A and B are shown apart, each in its own frame.
Chain A
Amino acid sequence: MDPSGAEPSDAAVIAASCADPAAFATIFDRHAATLLRFLVRRVGPDAADGLVGESFRIAFERRASYDCSRPSARPWLYGIATNVLAKHRRAEARRLAALARLPRRPGGDTPPAAVDDQVIAQVDARELWPRVAATIAALPPGERDALLLYAWEDLGYEDIAAALGIPVGTVRSRLNRARRRLREQREPACAGGEQPSTHSEDRGRIES
């Protein structure tokens, strides 16, 4: 939303699009890039191909039932995209496993030309990923959807509730359960140090 208030809200655009369908293009222009990034994070660029369009086509066809008391359509669109993803759980599992196979050091054994913050963040992310991926893979879909909307997409509890069509209390309990699983996953590793074998087990679990 435009903080200046000069632009009409998503709700106003969607309401107008019921009589003037082409107005819905504004909703695409405002949110398509965000939705594409979300879909790519979840299933990777290949599987995400076409899913943005599918999500927006569904949104367009459901526009008459949009709750116009919500100025931003973003949570609603995240909810639709999440439903679309439900048909692509296998692609998601493949994505989780494929990222776990990335070399720990970007560029393999070749030292990077310069060690900047981005490289450090990347090495850190790759160190963490196998366990994180195993946890994500083991989560029931409802918990996974809520967790990733919260941690990766920065949605708040209210927005997640609106996106997934569930009460806020359910969002809270799903996130609590997911947190507990992440904690349990982490603690044995802290105690036992890093074991290469752990990662191959993780990988097996992701792909199963």
Chain B
Amino acid sequence: MTDDLEPLRRARPDRLQPDDPIDPAVLSDERERFMSTIDETGTLPITERRTPTIYPRLAYRDEVAALEYLTRVFGFREWRESRMEHATGVLAWLEVGDGVVMIGRAGPEHHDLSSPADAGAVTCMVNVYVDNVDAHYARAAAEGARIVMPLEDMFWGDRRYEALDLEGHRWHFGERLSHVRERLGQS
């Protein structure tokens, strides 16, 4: 009996193009990046992960694009094992420091939540403290965040900036000035 899968085996892409290169540098780069992720998240054993008592849920027309945006531009880390993928949309939990935001799709069937892109108005601002607001600002600006209030030292003791994300949700990123001074060795 001939095996029906024989042609498929013989035509495996690496046989088609044996010199198709796998660059060893790709693996070592990936390993380096992977290990830095482990270092960042590794301090907290995942079994001890808890959702904070209060955390917002933000709605997006395109929650998958939002997920990509928030991790890339603002440096949020997704709890990948928590992601729920439904035919009607993705639910995801994003962590920064000891805070969590949940994101999902906008619409009447999703708790009647709206994206600012549809509502034409923003009705809340999410405030986030970060370890180094200067670096955070530089990254967000470089990645194309819409900065609406520039980085500035405020009288109440924060260095902060405000930005709109891809669908217009408003974010306030700050660092205590005492922490800034400590970080810069000026305490």
Does A78 reach chain B (CB closer than 8 Å)? no
Using CB atoms, name the residue of chain A closest to B43. Answer: A21
Nearest Cβ in chain B — how far from A88, in angstroms? 13
Cβ contact within 8 Å between A182 and B81: no
* Category for how many chain A residues contact B: 35 or more
B21 at the interface (CB under 8 A from A): yes
Cβ of A65 < 8 Å from any Cβ of B? yes
Cα of A139 to Cα of B48 in the assembled complex, Å: 42
Name which of B34-42, B128-136, B167-175 contacts chain A.
B34-42
Choose the segment among B22-30, B139-147, B151-159 that binds chain A (4+ C-beta atoms closer than 8 Å). Answer: B22-30
In this assembly, does A166 line the interface, its C-beta being within 8 Å of a C-beta of chain B? no
A28 to B5, CA, bound (A): 31
Instruction: Evaluate whether A99 and B13 lie within 8 angstroms (CB atoms) in the complex, with A32-B27, A118-B18 already known.
Output: yes
B120: interface (CB < 8 Å) = no
Residue-by-residue, is B34-71 near A (CB-CB < 8 Å gives 1, otherwise 0)? 11011101100111000000000000000000000000
A61 and B38: CB pair below 8 A? no
Determine the residue in chain B with the shortest Cβ distance to A33: B27
Nearest Cβ in chain B — how far from A78, in angstroms?
A: 16
For the complex, is B7 an interface residue (Cβ under 8 Å from A)? yes
Which residues 78-94 of B sit at the A interface, judged by CB distance below 8 A?
A: 79-81
Interface contact A40-B37, CB-CB below 8 Å: no
Choose among A25, A58, A122, A132 the residue that contacts B8 (Cβ–Cβ < 8 A).
A132
Q: A90 contacts the other chain (Cβ, under 8 Å)? A: no
Q: Which of A62, A95, A152 contacts B9 (CB 8 A)?
A: A152
> Is there contact, CB below 8 Å, between B30 and A32?
yes
B34 touches A183 (CB 8 A): no
Chain B count of residues within 8 A CB distance of the other chain: 36
**A182 pairs with B7, CB closer than 8 A:** yes
Contact A52 B80 (CB under 8 A): no
- Interface stretch, picked from A123-131, A156-164, A197-205, is A123-131
Query: How many Å lie between the Cα of A63 and that of B49 in the bound state?
Result: 14
Which A residues are CB-close (under 8 A) to B11?
Answer: 124-126, 128-129, 132-133
Return the CB mask of A115-153 against B: 1 if under 8 Å, else 0: 000100110111011011101100000000001001110
A28–B8 CA distance with the chains assembled, in angstroms: 29
Secondary structure class of chain A's binding surface, majority of residues: helix
Bound CA span A96–B71, Å: 31
Chain A 71-91 interface 0/1 with B at a Cβ cutoff of 8 Å (1 = within): 000000000000000000000
- The CB with the most chain A CB atoms within 10 A, among B5, B16, B21, is that of B16
Q: Known: A21-B42, A24-B38, A62-B80. Contact between A179 and B4, CB under 8 A? A: yes
Besides the contacts A22-B35, A99-B17, what 18 more A-B pairs have beta carbons closer than 8 Å?
Answer: A21-B45, A22-B38, A28-B31, A32-B31, A37-B14, A40-B20, A41-B12, A49-B26, A52-B27, A53-B30, A53-B33, A57-B80, A61-B41, A124-B10, A136-B8, A150-B5, A151-B12, A179-B4
List 30 A-B residue pairs with CB atoms under 8 Å apart, sorted by A's residue number: A21-B42, A22-B35, A25-B34, A25-B38, A32-B30, A32-B31, A33-B27, A45-B22, A52-B30, A53-B30, A53-B33, A53-B34, A57-B80, A60-B38, A61-B46, A61-B79, A61-B81, A65-B81, A122-B16, A124-B10, A128-B7, A129-B11, A131-B7, A132-B11, A135-B8, A151-B9, A180-B4, A182-B4, A182-B8, A183-B4
Chain A residues in the interface with B (C-beta under 8 A) = 18-19, 21-22, 24-25, 28-29, 32-33, 36-37, 40-41, 45, 49-50, 52-53, 56-58, 60-65, 95, 99, 102, 118, 121-122, 124-126, 128-129, 131-133, 135-136, 147, 150-152, 179-180, 182-183, 186
